[in-house]
């Protein structure tokens, strides 16, 4: 009788424990969703708060550590970003999105060796038809650090095109297309860091390249329009703030010039909108 009672108590305790653990995991996932929503609208501090709550409830929630890596990159804290990516790998070394994030991170930094390492891992872990495997393949081809893959691509393209002159032209086009994509990716990172002038320069350069990808060109021009609008808005606000400072200092001539600059920026934004 005592044995049965003890077993019953143990069963009830384990059931309660498992239910409590499941409730915490569900709450952690809710926090992650809230964090992602805030991150998507640029509220990085709010997103950081929710992601932190998620991992407090579920310390092995590796997807959130990856999210934190992306978030810290957007906030300009590269050391913490790498720590979070590594934390993701400590928990789940087979989580493929972190390979991609690390590859992009090192590529933006110009660390070709590390970028190639993570693109190679992502490519070799993918399956045929996997979108991110194809992305990894294209980046490795552009970096020129995966000889077997490059040779395979060249041989395949040669068979398809058959004529040497057409083959060379196609390879040149692919190289330019990949270059445009790389500059677009760099512009996206700069845009997320609110470095609009640098983002605009990258986008203008990407748009100036001669490649045949209408969707990419559309994406580049849409981001360029957003970057120019954000830059103009930033300039208008800065000019208006300077004008207020000059007025307080009773330097009305300088205040007037700053107000003119702010008004010009506002009028330009209004014209662009219409």
Q: Which CATH superfamily is domain 23-93 in?
A: Tetratricopeptide repeat domain (1.25.40.10)
Q: Would you state the pLDDT for residue 13? A: 45
Answering whether pTM is above 0.75, one says no
Q: Would you state the pLDDT for residue 169? A: 64
What does the block give as tokens for 227? 């970057």
Q: Would you state the pLDDT for residue 8? A: 47
Distance CA 140, CA 151 (A): 12
What does the block give as tokens for 6? 């003890």
Distance CA 133, CA 119 (A): 9
Greatest alpha-carbon pair distance for the chain in Å reads 96
Q: Spell out the domain ranges in the chain.
A: 23-93, 196-274
What does the block give as tokens for 139? 């980046």
Q: Would you state the pLDDT for residue 21? A: 67
Q: Would you state the pLDDT for residue 272? A: 62
List, for residues 55-82, the tens digit of each pLDDT value.
999 999 999 999 999 999 999 999 999 9
Residues of the chain with pLDDT under 70: 1-21, 158-171, 268-274
Count the Cβ atoms, other than its own, within 10 Å of residue 61. Answer: 21
Distance CA 240, CA 258 (A): 6
Q: Would you state the pLDDT for residue 42? A: 94
């Amino acid at each position: 009788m005592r044995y049965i009672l003890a077993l019953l108590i143990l069963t009830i305790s384990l059931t309660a424990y498992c239910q409590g653990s499941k409730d915490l995991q569900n709450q952690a996932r809710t926090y992650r969703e809230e964090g992602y929503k805030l991150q998507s609208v640029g509220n990085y501090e709010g997103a950081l708060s929710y992601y932190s709550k998620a991992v407090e409830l579920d310390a092995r929630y590796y997807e959130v550590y990856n999210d934190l890596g992306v978030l810290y990159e957007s906030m300009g804290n590269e050391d913490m970003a790498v720590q979070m990516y590594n934390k993701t790998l400590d928990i789940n070394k087979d989580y493929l999105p972190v390979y991609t994030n690390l590859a992009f991170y090192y590529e933006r930094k110009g660390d070709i060796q590390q970028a190639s390492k993570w693109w190679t891992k992502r490519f070799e872990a993918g399956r045929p038809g996997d979108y991110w495997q194809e992305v990894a393949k294209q980046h490795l081809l552009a970096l020129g650090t995966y000889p077997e893959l490059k040779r395979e691509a060249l041989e395949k393209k040669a068979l398809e095109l058959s004529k040497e002159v057409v083959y060379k032209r196609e390879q040149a086009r692919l190289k330019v297309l990949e270059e445009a994509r790389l500059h677009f990716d760099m512009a996206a990172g700069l845009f997320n860091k609110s470095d609009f002038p640098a983002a605009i320069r990258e986008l203008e350069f990407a748009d100036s390249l001669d490649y045949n990808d209408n969707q990419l060109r559309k994406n580049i021009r849409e981001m360029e329009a957003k970057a120019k609008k954000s830059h103009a808005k930033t300039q208008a606000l800065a000019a208006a703030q300077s004008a207020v400072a000059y007025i307080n200092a009773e330097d009305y001539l300088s205040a007037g010039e700053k107000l003119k600059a702010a008004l010009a920026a506002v009028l330009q934004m209004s014209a662009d909108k219409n």
